[in-house]
A and B are shown apart, each in its own frame.
Chain A
Amino acid sequence: MRYLPHTDEEIAAMLQKAGAMDLDDLFSGIPEDCRRGRDLDLPEPFTEWELNQHMAVLSGKMAVSPEYKIFLGAGSYEHYIPEVIKQLLARSEFYTAYTPYQPEISQGTLQAIYEYQTLTTRLLGLDVANASLYDGASGLAEALLMAIRITGRKKVAVAGSIHPFYRKVVQTYLAPTGCEIVEIPYLANGKTDLTRLPDLADLAGIAVQSPNFFGCIEDLDLIGREIHSDPKTLFVVTFTEPLAYGILKNPGSLGADIACGEGQSFGIPQSFGGPGLGMFAAKKRFMRNMPGRLVGKTKDENGNRGFVLTLATREQHIRREKATSNICSNQGLCATAAAMYMAALGRTGLRELARLNHDKAEYLKNQLQQAGFTIPFDTPTFNEFVVKFPAGFETTHKKLLAKKIVAGLDLSLYYPELIDHYLLSVTETSSKEDMDALIKEIQA
């Protein structure tokens, strides 16, 4: 086996030094009643060539672009990834390193993460960002736990227009804490209105997504001002599509105390939902309550600029049960990819790409409207939106699958009241031709 370098002679010599008769003898301290009764029942080892073939068959059974035209977003977006990012991430000095516990020989990772933190604060308009969390959903759960820690209050509110899976993750994380979760219903225009929240008092935090699950851009400014009528309550803004902030006002400038969400759009393949990137930023005064790793700037003995993991006293290995989170490994390489992507686009490119996403989505939205379909939520959107199709569209949706078109996501699975409502996403990867074909096939 090419990953096991030992020759028989070497094994014999090493066994002798270790004082063992054979390899089994090394395990003589393990009691009989803990041992397997039989050998591992796994497939015969594949050669590299067999593995290539086997995986080609499995991956060949997948419906992916460009063969399929997939108008699905809902928290995972198809964006072009520049080849430079793939090539640079493949530098194995980056990807075969561990968490940078030894800073003198980890400066590459550390500066890359420091730059990621910096670009993230600039994107979201906040003061400090961490080195990443697992994904957008667990990031939102951590944000609400953080609000609970800061305020000492035991109740949070989440908008019903937040991604349903994110709300589910929040429920899971909060279940053992005994904290109450209030859900804020969405309005007929697809947006959130705090006047629909029965009681604003005693809330640790209120979470709103923008653009929300329906693609609608929320009135964060207004919501923020209402939330801050109670100065203790934290305003948490979450997102699934960070590209939107290439053009939209950022959460920090609209009053967010914490902004957190999914960064997959920034140079990370969709990979069936993971690995993604939990982006997380907050106002400076909450820095010491933040979960996750932080990279900070410092100097070495010669006075040269360098970086280290810092504020570790918040963390599990020092504070144990009093830690701000239990997170250890995060999504370091994905954060590096996101920093590369933000840098590859730059301010100019990010803005142009965001405009292109918006304009293409508007094109499809208008074409659908002209074709007689309803756009139920009369609110500006970014690169996804909801369409109401005639009753029985389910059959058409199925028929389109056979034509290699995935015409959005059936929202009734998550919102039973939204029968025949579909969420469609359009990014820079959808051409006008693809969109025209979609309209044509829907009408056929």
Chain B
Amino acid sequence: MKAMTGTRGLVLNEPFLWEQGARGRTCFSMPRRDVDPCPLKDELVGQGPDFPDLSEVDLVRHYTRLSTWNFGVDTGMYPLGSCTMKYNPKINEKMASLPGFAGAHPLLPAELCQGVLKLMYDLEKYLAEITGLPAVTLQPAAGAHGELTGMLIFHAFFKARNQQRSKILIPDTAHGTNPASAALCGFKSIPVASNDQGVLAPEEVAELMDEETAGIMITNPNTLGLFEDNIKKIAGIVHAKGGLVYADGANMNAIMGIVDMSKSGVDILHLNLHKTFATPHGGGGPGSGPVCVTKNLEKFLPVPRVIHQNGDYTLTYDCPESIGKLHAFYGNFGVQIKAYSYILSMGAELKKASQLAVLNANYIKEELKSVFHLPYDRACMHECVFTDKFQKPYKVTTLDIAKRLMDYGFHPPTIYFPLVVHGALMIEPTETESKTSIDLFIAALKAIAKEARESPELLHEAPRNPKMRRLDETIAARKPCLAG
């Protein structure tokens, strides 16, 4: 077995920002004062925030040390299920920082910002081509923001028909944000159970779908990593009752160049550019969650829309049936640039990316199913879900396995999700992991399964290598301390 990457090294402690510095130090090159002081009225002036004064070296050391306590995709394999932690190409970072983009004011007259408008217009076009849904908005700032956009379109669609529908179907294998997004638009979520194959049965949907129900929010491939192969039939059932089909496209990385969402019967789909299109997740954003819809629903998309007429690009607000605006400007444009660069770098090879993502997941599934319980033993898409059932006799849980993986040098998979599986370990390797790193990951999990049998205390006490041992989440929630 090759040596595992996990090890210990010198890690430095670092106090809070406000425990450092000295009044009068500075880290900022103050611009020249070329005008006279002009004091504000006393009654308007406050004391100013109690910030520390630091030097440039203080600041650099502080954040450099903090960064070493983090694990990122650049550190190692990050198989976080349904999060698509693929490699974030460096060139895309540079593209987003080009002065013409980074310095662009959002209210520039159209003739002075043709470059960004063309980029947005073309990105919409490419996403339409990839999904099969012809009309796209780039405005939502993240996946859940895209879901909200979709639900607002549901609401506007029924309102335009003088209908008010109160319910929405949400399968037990959908993403966790779905019910919250639907609730914001007044829809009560009706859970739909998946069948023993881990997918939705059309009969189940037919039973629940009625004319009080706005439609269905379906994650495809679902969070078990399985393709909802009855999607077309299900869409037919929903449409027959006048409902709409929303697809959560967070797992689009499995099916680029293979599935046509429009042909599958989907009316609205959101994408996560920070998953499928290789933009970095930033330790919690910024993301970007474009929404793609059918021609019929285009009129409801948020304003402004980018249009192309007589060779010029402009933004138009002239969309009377639009749901309105979800962001002050046009969403996370800086993230859109990175996704655009990625798509141009990949071209039709996006299909190959999906194929290899699915290959990696199936390979892991086959390699590990003898040591970890695989609740749905069938071909998977881009992720596979195991459980801790085989480790139960040794009193080892999914959490222990996840924490022990850190010691071996890997980020743990998504754990305890989806809820349909007890003690889930949801592994999404992505296509950018080579066979070499995947084999090492498999070897680590096999070693952990052996440890679970022979010395389970190693798992209970894990992790040992990171800077911190397990943290007490109960105290954090019971006596919240949110600021220093």
Contacts and interface: CB of A to CB of B under 8 A. Distances in A.
A55 B336 CA distance: 13
B463 interface: yes
Contact of B183 (A45, A88, A323, A432): A323
A65 B101 CA distance: 11
A181 B452 CA distance: 59
Contacts of A165: 325, 328-329
Interface string B362-376: 110111000000000
Interface in A68-90: 68, 70, 72, 74-76, 78, 80, 82, 84, 86-88, 90
Contacts of B74: 92-93, 96
Interface in B94-144: 95-109, 111-116, 118-119, 126, 129-130, 132, 141-144
Contacts of A340: 59, 63
A55 B98 contact: yes
A301 B54 CA distance: 32
Interface in B452-478: 463, 466-473, 475-477
A276 interface: yes
Contacts of A134: 141-142, 145, 327, 332
B263 A3 contact: no
Contact of B108 (A34, A48, A63, A353): A63
Contacts of B240: none
Nearest to B27: A344
B99 A59 contact: yes
Contact of A353 (B30, B41, B118, B274): B30
Contacts of A76: 105-107, 329
B115 A273 contact: no
A51 B260 contact: no
B385 interface: no
B193 interface: no
A322 B483 contact: no
Given A26-B355, A84-B56, A356-B31, A99 B328 contact: no
A377 B389 CA distance: 70
A275 B471 contact: no
B347 A42 contact: yes
B1 interface: no
A27 B334 CA distance: 34
B423 to A, nearest CB: 16
Contacts of B352: 1, 4, 23
Given A43-B344, A105-B406, A380-B40, A246 B31 contact: no
A431 B34 CA distance: 7
B393 interface: no
A321 B170 CA distance: 11
A351 to B, nearest CB: 5
Nearest to A19: B366
B328 A169 contact: yes
Q: Chain A contact residues (Cβ within 8 angstroms of B): what range?
A: 35 or more
Contacts of B106: 75-76, 270, 272-274
B64 interface: yes
Contact of A30 (B109, B126, B258): B258
Contacts of A115: 16-18, 484
B290 interface: no
Contacts of A199: none
Interface string B340-352: 0101111111111
A167 B7 CA distance: 52
Interface in A227-267: 245-250, 253, 262
B468 A100 contact: no
B353 interface: yes
A14 interface: yes
A325 interface: yes
B298 interface: no
A153 interface: no
Contacts of A353: 28, 30-31
Interface in B52-87: 52-54, 56, 59-60, 62-64, 66-75, 78, 80, 83, 85-87
Interface string B268-281: 00000010001011
Contact of A321 (B69, B72, B182): B182
B141 A135 contact: yes
Contacts of A273: 106, 327-331, 333
Contact of A82 (B27, B151, B362, B366): B27
Interface string A257-293: 0000010000001111111100000000001000001
Interface string A84-110: 101110111111111111111111110
A300 B468 contact: yes
Interface string A1-23: 10111100011011101111001
A350 B229 contact: no
Nearest to A316: B180
A105 B189 CA distance: 35
A72 to B, nearest CB: 5
Interface stretch (A187-195, A329-337, A368-376): A329-337
A334 to B, nearest CB: 6
B48 A26 contact: no
Nearest to B410: A105
Contact of A33 (B185, B257, B263): B263
Interface residues of B, number: 198
A155 B102 CA distance: 39
B287 A329 contact: yes
B50 A347 contact: yes
A169 B324 contact: yes
A301 B44 CA distance: 48
A91 B345 contact: no
A100 B51 CA distance: 26
A298 interface: yes
B36 A100 contact: no
Contact of A247 (B45, B85, B281, B341): B45
B152 interface: yes
Contacts of A113: 283-284
Interface stretch (A171-179, A200-208, A384-392): A171-179
Contacts of A275: 141, 285-286, 332-335
A296 B482 contact: yes
Interface string A339-362: 110111111111111011011101
Contacts of B132: 36
Contacts of A444: none
Interface string A36-55: 11011111111010011011
Given A17-B363, A46-B345, A138 B141 contact: yes
A61 B120 CA distance: 14
B484 A118 contact: yes
A345 B28 contact: yes
Given A55-B95, A321-B182, A349 B100 contact: no
A117 interface: yes
B406 A102 contact: yes
B51 A119 contact: yes
Given A121-B483, A429-B31, A274 B346 contact: no
A269 B156 CA distance: 34
A54 to B, nearest CB: 7
A128 interface: yes
Contacts of B70: 93-94, 97, 105-109
19 contacts: A26-B379, A29-B378, A43-B347, A45-B347, A58-B101, A61-B115, A76-B329, A93-B72, A95-B281, A97-B283, A118-B16, A127-B483, A135-B327, A135-B328, A248-B46, A294-B480, A295-B482, A310-B480, A323-B183
Q: What are the 6 A-B residue pairs with the smallest beta carbon separation, nearest first?
A: A273-B329, A59-B100, A332-B284, A273-B106, A333-B282, A172-B324
Given A5-B435, A54-B344, 9 more contacts: A3-B345, A88-B63, A96-B73, A122-B51, A172-B152, A175-B324, A270-B106, A326-B184, A333-B284
